Structure 1
Amino acid sequence: MLMSMEKTRGRRLKRVLVTLTVVVGVLAVAVGGSFAWLWTNADLSTVGKVRFGNELAVPPLAPSTVDEDGTRVFDLRMQAGSTEFRDGAATPTWGFNGDHLGPTLRAKRGERVKVRVRNTLDEASGVHWHGMHLPAAMDGGPHQMVEAGSTWTPRWKVDQPASTLWYHPHPHGATERHVQRGLAGMFLLDDEDSGRLALPKTYGVDDLPVMVQDVTFDGATFDHGHRFLANTGFLGERTMVNGTLDPYAEVGDERVRLRLLNASTARIYTFGFDDDRAFDLVGTDGGLLAAPASMNRVQLSPGERAEVVVTMRPGERRVLRSYPWRDGNGWERRFDGGDDSFDVLQLRAAERLRPSPEVPGRLAVDRGLELPEAGDAVRSRHFELRRSGINGKPMAMGRIDETVTRGTTEVWTLRNGGDMTHNFHVHDVQFRVLDVNGKRPEPALRGRKDTVAVPMGATVRIALRFDGPSDPDVPYMYHCHLLSHEDDGMMGQFVVVERGQRAGEVPDHAGH
């Protein structure tokens, strides 16, 4: 009897083990199949699928007045509205002086400027002047919020070379959402040196602003949801330029200058043309290069800019395209957008083109470059970039993380030891990229920069000179410009002080 019971238990145990094996096998096949489906369907491509049926909108130049003391005055109004990106579908949007995006501000080196920023939204927002050298209290970071119904009037003197800058909100914890809704615009600076160069410079004709963003629609509304397994942040299904879907631009000149701005919140673009033609890179974030660099790809992470000049032939149609990344591991490329490709903008050349001069062999004079030298550094600092924070600390509005002395140069080492790509933006200054993983930077990183990509596992060294006004109480920011990372706390604060001075206390009132 006992042996019979043991045999029965043995048979039952065997059946249970067999059943468990089958269940585990089925689950493994299901999970493996699901992962295989995710892997296969993770990349996006609009190459060859864009009809290019809408003429590119060129943001208008913002009107300005000049005060009695010579100050140039602009007015920006943050407002809610709706925009018809597609026929019959009105999408709720935000904009400056209009329903979506903002006008292009333009000023000259040496001018004093003032911007009256009025917030007619139903929540607080702000305006950060990305790439601008100016006092911390005028910078438009999270400490200079503009409350609903209020006005903020920053003023400063333009003291930097001709360059392609931009403006956007910077509310701590909500920057991604505010930019996605449409609060962004360009700010162009001119100077005498660049004005004498034989570069395309007729705004909207042979000198085009190209503000690239990625979007996804859910019916008539934006879908800002993050892609499954994407650590970078929001990755849209298609691109638009200056708020125009499927855009084309008519070109009437032999050479056209494209001021490329990656205004997306997380996506990294590798720009080139569909026929792989070479173009001249003439400028980066903070201004012109010393000499043009011929290339057929330029990669921009969020917030970065590049000025390129492309030569067109009569009657041709060429497409500005974003290609898959040239680096990154398999997971990152697949799920963080590295394998994606987009047809971004079509250029349509007229049958007869106005002749354009050759791109000058020399661009920025030494004064125009104004890049700091590593040999002048009086201090080095290290920044470990992680999704959870910089140097192990998430952003705290009341904490000053670094104190720098006015008039000094420093070398900062940026190390990305995490499992995803980041980038690094520093307010107020334009820095020199010294090396990437110990090697000389590629041409696109040899100019004046305020934002630089730091790929997974990479180490980037930069030299910065802090020669602006000091203020021990009001900080500037440094942060990852993948905006969901910034919103989640991947940001720190520094103040500029006089020699021997200490950092003060951050004001506990930030609104205007």
Structure 2
Amino acid sequence: MRRRGFLALTGLVGLALAGCAGSQGNANTLAFRNPLRIPPLLDPEPGPDGVKRYPLRLVEGRTELRPGKPARTWGINGGHLGPTLRARRGDRLAMTVTNTLGEASTLHWHGMRLPAVMDGGPHQMIEPGAVWSPEWTVDQPAATTWYHPHPHGRTGLHVYRGLAGMFILDDEKGGDGTGLPSAYGEDDIPLILQDRKFERNGELDEGFGGTFGPLGDDILINGTYDPHFRVTTTRVRFRVLNGSSARVYTIGFSDEREFHVVANDAGLLERPVAVRRFRISPGERFEIVAAFEAGEEVLLKSHGGDTGADVEEGDYDLLKLAAAPQLRPSAPLPARLTPLAPPDRGTRTRTFRLGGSNINGRDMDMARIDEVVPAGARETWEVDNVTFSHNFHIHDAVFRVLDIDGERPPEHLRGPKDTVYVPGRTKVRLAVEFGRHTDPGTPYMYHCHILRHEDKGMMGQFVIVPPGSEDTTPRRLPVAGHGHH
């Protein structure tokens, strides 16, 4: 009842917030003139030592995000956004991240299970002109992850300017062993959704005020404005990443056709789940498979007005899909994808109260350890949102959604996740599985992934320690972060 009651009471508040953001949607305003840009794939062969090396440069650029109007942007190995990185389970990876920007930044591997010193959070700052060289071995199931900066207080701006990219993980044999569409750029398509506001001259409007920061009516997909994609197969897999600062999308097709969710953030569902719409908040990923008929055209949309929530108003046309006159047949959708054990609630429960821009009444402190977790722990985390829209992301952890306001989540949300949407006045309970990389002196983060909230201090820190050492682990760090020179 409290969810419905809250929405009834705050519908006007949500509309007011939407009005402040100037967000009415873009339906029926696009011509779909531009072919969807497919980010280049960076999937290097292992060297003689068996290590795969990824050279990455943070650079300033000039990019025509709107036709004929170059904008100042940032990118990775190019002027805007970054390549799609790809690796297999068991691969040894070595990143070389060179910062050529005029200010310090980081690269965080969102969704990756790895040691805290390699995580790329706010304690792994890369100063201008410096190089950061994290290395780790991929040890997690096939999944769609991503990478983006994480400097405390500046994350929203750095992502908004264009520092982001997808990171696809395959199983040991390549792909995910399911027979799902897997030809990158042909029938396996990355979709990085980002809303933007533009000045009249085409420059990005970087006004980060208000409750949620910039909420723009221009939606870029893989950095492409007004995009279309030519479908050449009877089924297409879309890896949908919400790379926006705050906007929540309710994704479906213009003809309300049924399609299947096959994976959540951290990996495959047990079986494909038929849906007509799904909701995706910043940082989340959903993999979907849709069927097409020769010669047809349909729009991928974000449907507004479903819930009255404060960051998803308005109808948005996202991408025109035009099927070729003849389509190559795709393999049938598998009945089963992967076995999933029931969620393990663990023996410990922790509670996180989401305020306006704090967690448990406290703003982020770079020197404070908020939680100490034994390696390999299974715990229940209760995330209680007492204000407006938030979401919740945990570094180096995978969780399953146990319930939303006491009710089981819909079936398409029952897979492995690392980020979850928590609407206003809603409580979500998570069964969290933690990693085994111990380091009492280097924390991981948990935070709201609405970047304006994160930057304002809606973030906490936890360390993973050997079991039995929790009580003797210091709760303060000697320094509040360090850079790489």
When the two structures are superposed, what TM-score results if normalisation uses the length of structure 2?
A: 0.92
Match of 1:510 in 2: 482
Tell me, yes or no, if the aligned pair for 1:279 and 1:294 is still in contact at 8 Å: yes
Match of 2:354 in 1: 385
Bigger shift: 186-195 or 99-108?
Answer: 186-195
3-state SS, counterpart of residue 42 of structure 2: coil
Is 1:358 the counterpart of 2:332? The answer is: yes
Match of 1:326 in 2: 306
Bigger shift: 478-487 or 459-468?
Answer: 459-468
3-state SS, counterpart of residue 358 of structure 1: coil
Match of 1:403 in 2: 372
Looking at structure 2, the residues matched to 293 and 139 of structure 1 have their Cα atoms a distance apart, in angstroms, of 32
1:259 to 205, 228, 239: 239
Looking at structure 1, the residues matched to 22 and 77 of structure 2 have their Cα atoms a distance apart, in angstroms, of 38
Residue correspondence of structure 1 range 117-132 to structure 2 within 5 A: 117-132=97-112
3-state SS, counterpart of residue 397 of structure 2: coil
3-state SS, counterpart of residue 484 of structure 1: helix
Match of 1:25 in 2: none
Give how far 1:197 is off.
Answer: 1.7
Give how far 1:43 is off.
Answer: 4.6
Bigger shift: 171-180 or 187-196?
Answer: 187-196
3-state SS, counterpart of residue 129 of structure 2: coil
Match of 1:278 in 2: 258
Tell me the alpha carbon deviations over residues 211-255 of structure 1, each in whole angstroms, 9 at most, x when there is no partner: 00001110221012257xx52322012101000000001110000
Residue correspondence of structure 1 range 237-252 to structure 2 within 5 A: 237-252=217-232
Q: Output the aligned Cα RMSD.
A: 2.0
Bigger shift: 171-180 or 407-416?
Answer: 407-416
Tell me, yes or no, if the aligned pair for 1:146 and 1:511 is still in contact at 8 Å: yes
Is 1:494 the counterpart of 2:474? The answer is: no
Looking at structure 2, the residues matched to 57 and 234 of structure 1 have their Cα atoms a distance apart, in angstroms, of 24
Tell me, yes or no, if the aligned pair for 1:495 and 1:503 is still in contact at 8 Å: no
1:342 to 316, 321, 324: 316
Tell me, yes or no, if the aligned pair for 1:285 and 1:450 is still in contact at 8 Å: yes
Structure 1 unaligned spans of 5+: 1-34
Tell me, yes or no, if the aligned pair for 1:43 and 1:337 is still in contact at 8 Å: no
Match of 2:211 in 1: 231
Residue correspondence of structure 1 range 20-419 to structure 2 within 5 A: 43-192=23-172, 194-218=175-199, 219-226=201-208, 231-328=211-308, 333=309, 336-364=310-338, 366=339, 369=340, 372-374=343-345, 377-418=346-387
Specify the structure having the higher radius of gyration (Cα).
1
Distance 1:324 1:113, change over 3 A: same
Give how far 1:506 is off.
Answer: 2.6
Q: Structure 2: which amino acid aligns with 1:67?
A: G
Q: Structure 1: which amino acid aligns with 2:322?
A: R
Q: Structure 1: which amino acid aligns with 2:482?
A: A
3-state SS, counterpart of residue 237 of structure 2: strand
Tell me, yes or no, if the aligned pair for 1:232 and 1:421 is still in contact at 8 Å: no
Structure holding more helix per residue: 1
3-state SS, counterpart of residue 389 of structure 1: coil
1:444 to 412, 428, 434: 412
Match of 1:6 in 2: none
Looking at structure 1, the residues matched to 457 and 441 of structure 2 have their Cα atoms a distance apart, in angstroms, of 21
3-state SS, counterpart of residue 255 of structure 2: coil
Query: How many equivalent residue pairs?
Result: 465
Structure 2 unaligned spans of 5+: 1-14
Tell me, yes or no, if the aligned pair for 2:396 and 2:444 is still in contact at 8 Å: yes
Give how far 1:192 is off.
Answer: 4.4
Give how far 1:443 is off.
Answer: 1.9
Distance 1:128 1:507, change over 3 A: farther
Bigger shift: 193-202 or 81-90?
Answer: 193-202
Distance 1:319 1:179, change over 3 A: same
Distance 1:252 1:258, change over 3 A: same
Q: Structure 2: which amino acid aligns with 1:510?
A: H
Tell me, yes or no, if the aligned pair for 1:250 and 1:349 is still in contact at 8 Å: yes
Distance 1:187 1:438, change over 3 A: same
Looking at structure 2, the residues matched to 40 and 289 of structure 1 have their Cα atoms a distance apart, in angstroms, of 38
Tell me, yes or no, if the aligned pair for 2:197 and 2:214 is still in contact at 8 Å: no
Tell me the alpha carbon deviations over residues 72-121 of structure 1, each in whole angstroms, 9 at most, x when there is no partner: 11010000010012332110000000000000000000111111000011
Give how far 1:65 is off.
Answer: 4.4
Tell me, yes or no, if the aligned pair for 1:211 and 1:242 is still in contact at 8 Å: yes
Tell me, yes or no, if the aligned pair for 2:399 and 2:418 is still in contact at 8 Å: yes
Looking at structure 2, the residues matched to 414 and 41 of structure 1 have their Cα atoms a distance apart, in angstroms, of 27
Distance 1:411 1:63, change over 3 A: closer
3-state SS, counterpart of residue 454 of structure 2: helix
Give how far 1:471 is off.
Answer: 0.5
Is 1:461 the counterpart of 2:429? The answer is: yes
Looking at structure 2, the residues matched to 165 and 41 of structure 1 have their Cα atoms a distance apart, in angstroms, of 29
Looking at structure 1, the residues matched to 364 and 311 of structure 2 have their Cα atoms a distance apart, in angstroms, of 26
Looking at structure 1, the residues matched to 436 and 161 of structure 2 have their Cα atoms a distance apart, in angstroms, of 33
Looking at structure 1, the residues matched to 19 and 321 of structure 2 have their Cα atoms a distance apart, in angstroms, of 34
Tell me, yes or no, if the aligned pair for 2:396 and 2:435 is still in contact at 8 Å: no
Q: Structure 2: which amino acid aligns with 1:185?
A: G
